[in-house]
Each structure stands twice: as C-alpha cells, then as structure tokens.
Amino acid sequence: MRVAATPVAIWSALQDAETWLSLGMMDSVTDSVVRDGRLASFAWTALAAGTRHKGSALTTGCVEGERMVLALDSSELAGELGVTLVPAEGGTAMTVSLTARSRGILAGMFWGVVSDALQQGLVTQVDGFAARF
C-alpha cells in the first residue's frame, strides 16, 4: 500500500504503542516501554467472543526507518505483527504482515473463525492506519 507520508514520519508513529491499536486485533494498550527512542514492549487487551484477553507485545525485529516486528503473546494466541517501509515516489510503500497461531485449547477449537476474523480485520485496520498519513 502506498501512503503520502515519508518512512520517517511513519516510523516515528510506530514508536508509540497507541499506533499499534490501528494495526492489530488489540483494543487497548498499557505499560509501554520505550528505550533509546524505540518502542520496546507494551501490554495489550483484545475483546474476542465476548471475552477480554490480555497479552504482551515485544519488539523483536527492528531496522530503523525500514522494518519493525512485534512478537505478540497471550494465553490463547501467539504471533508476529510487522510493518515494512520502503521509500517510494511521493511517499512510502508500506507492507503490514500478521502471522498468528493458536495456543490454547479453546482457540484451537475455533481457529478457523478466529483466523478469518483476523485476516478480514487486518485489511480494514491497515486501510484506516494508512489514511492517517
């Protein structure tokens, strides 16, 4: 997806835990930790099937201005949420990726539905995130 903002502007936004609300399945974030100007970790919650789930996000991959990857962890799922930025004429080519796997028995039983919801939701969320820039 192309956005008008520069990679530097988007990178700066990614260092704020609140930004990730518009890129993942989370509906709240707390306890963010920033080290040397980079987002290191935060706690998150998500509402799924009428149940509030708590998890954590840890920055595991980071190439300043180019790529940022969060490892997501909770009792029911684990995965990675990443953003790649490439300078492009008039702005930035941005790619968002999400990989997820079930961890609990309950999530495993309903993983097809959960996976479909994550996939469909991500497209809408990325479009909304891109519109900010």
Q: What's the CA gap between 35 and 110, in Å, rounded?
A: 37
pLDDT score, position 101: 81
Question: Is residue 17 classed exposed, middle or buried when 0-12, 13-18 and 19+ CB atoms within 10 A define those classes?
Answer: buried
Give 76's DSSP letter. S
Average pLDDT over residues 16-28: 84
For residue 57, the surrounding DSSP H or E stretch is strand 51-63
Q: Which domain holds residue 60?
A: 2-131
pTM: 0.82
How does residue 60 score in pLDDT terms, banded at 50, 70 and 90?
A: very high
Domains of the chain: total: 1
Average pLDDT over residues 48-75: 88
Average pLDDT over residues 11-36: 90
Q: In CATH, what number is assigned to the domain containing residue 69?
A: 3.30.530.20
Give 62-97 pLDDT, tens digit per residue.
Answer: 999 999 999 999 888 888 999 999 999 999 999 988
3-state secondary structure of 104: coil
Q: For residue 62, how many other CB atoms are within 10 A of its CB?
A: 17
Q: Which two tokens stand for residue 62?
A: 């980071």
Give 100's DSSP letter. E
